[in-house]
């Protein structure tokens, strides 16, 4: 701020005298107060710097290559937003779901998930910590994705769609990881797991639409979206192409699974 000539180059301000860098300052006024401390710190920092003949250039110090790329910035933001994660962290691999769904689930099992109960624990001031869907119970991760009666009605349809007549999940682990009681082969089991993950993802998406966009919670529409999206992601990621015949595509899906 005190530099008189804002376009000055580094070489104009720092020169090497007997292998030591010294500052050739040109201040608009004599530094005083806190600026003196800053100047001392700066002088210490540059004392071992040797100036080359190269022109000044920008360096992106957040990447080891020194070059700015959108992918390095993107991975930096992801790391800050989601934390450093690995695909093996107690969440099995499932090639049928996109990365965003995997990251979503990873945050769920890490308890890094912005349900009202967790936000409240972090000291964020909310007008309520009750569930955004039923307004009756505290909005925990388990409640929002598994136990709320607004979502269990959807899980019932999903279980029915997959011909899984076992009882509803009682906790998040059963909904996300366990495939206890599943009656298909291993590929079918992986597809069912992918469908459950996609269901959690879409349930949360619609919860957010209700909270932030005042969009009505419409179970029929949500089930339809889960079916369509599951078909799309599952078939795009497998060699076998599924077909969705009509919105209640249960017969097509089950037929395909039985042939796997």
In the complex with Zn ion, the residue whose CB is nearer, 133 or 257, is 133
Binding mask 78-117 for Zn ion (x = CB under 5 A): ----------------------------------------
Q: Count the neighbouring beta carbons within 10 Å of the beta carbon of residue 171.
A: 11
Q: How far is the CB of 154 from Zn ion (least distance, A)?
A: 12
In the complex with Zn ion, the residue whose CB is nearer, 113 or 184, is 113
253 closest CA partner among 168, 193, 171, 188: 188
| Site membership for Zn ion, residue 200 (CB under 5 A) | no
Q: How far is the CB of 115 from Zn ion (least distance, A)?
A: 10
Contact segment (CB under 5 A) with Zn ion among 81-89, 92-100, 126-134, 199-207 equals 126-134
In the complex with Zn ion, the residue whose CB is nearer, 150 or 196, is 150
143 closest CA partner among 120, 123, 166, 118: 118
Cβ atoms of residues 69 and 63 within 8 Å: yes
Contacts with Zn ion in 127-186 (CB under 5 A)?
Answer: 131, 133-134, 148
Q: How far is the CB of 105 from Zn ion (least distance, A)?
A: 20
Binding residue count for Zn ion, defined by CB under 5 A: 4
CA distance 232 to 65: 38
Q: How far is the CB of 121 from Zn ion (least distance, A)?
A: 18
In the complex with Zn ion, the residue whose CB is nearer, 144 or 257, is 144
Q: How far is the CB of 148 from Zn ion (least distance, A)?
A: 3
Q: How far is the CB of 145 from Zn ion (least distance, A)?
A: 10
In the complex with Zn ion, the residue whose CB is nearer, 148 or 154, is 148
Q: How far is the CB of 177 from Zn ion (least distance, A)?
A: 22
How far lies 143's CA from each of 14, 55, 155, 166, 256, in Å? 62, 60, 13, 20, 33
In the complex with Zn ion, the residue whose CB is nearer, 131 or 202, is 131
In the complex with Zn ion, the residue whose CB is nearer, 154 or 253, is 154
Give the footprint of Zn ion on this chain (CB under 5 A): 131, 133-134, 148
């Amino acid at each position: 701020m005190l530099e008189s000539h804002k376009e000055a180059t580094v070489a104009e301000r720092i020169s090497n005298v007997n292998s030591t860098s010294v500052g050739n300052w040109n201040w608009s006024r004599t530094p005083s107060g806190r600026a003196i401390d800053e100047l001392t710190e700066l002088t210490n920092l540059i004392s071992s710097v040797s100036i080359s003949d190269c022109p000044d250039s920008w360096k992106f110090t957040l990447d080891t290559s020194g070059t700015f790329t959108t992918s390095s910035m993107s991975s930096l933001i992801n790391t800050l937003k989601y934390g450093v994660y690995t695909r093996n962290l107690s969440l099995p691999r499932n090639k049928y779901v996109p990365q965003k769904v995997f990251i979503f689930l990873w945050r769920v099992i890490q308890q890094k998930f912005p349900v009202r109960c967790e936000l409240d624990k972090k000291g964020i001031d909310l007008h309520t910590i009750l569930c955004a869907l039923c307004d009756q119970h505290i909005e925990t991760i388990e409640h929002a994705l598994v136990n709320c009666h607004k979502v269990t009605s959807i899980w019932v349809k999903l279980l029915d769609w997959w011909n899984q007549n076992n009882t509803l999940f009682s906790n998040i682990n059963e909904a996300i990881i366990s495939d206890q009681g599943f009656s298909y082969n291993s590929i079918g089991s992986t597809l069912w797991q992918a469908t459950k993950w996609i269901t959690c993802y879409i349930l949360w998406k619609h919860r957010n639409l209700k909270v932030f966009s005042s969009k009505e919670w419409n179970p029929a529409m949500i089930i339809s979206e889960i079916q369509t999206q599951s078909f799309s992601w599952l078939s795009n990621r497998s060699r076998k192409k599924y077909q969705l015949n009509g919105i209640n595509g249960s017969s097509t899906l089950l037929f395909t699974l039985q042939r796997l």
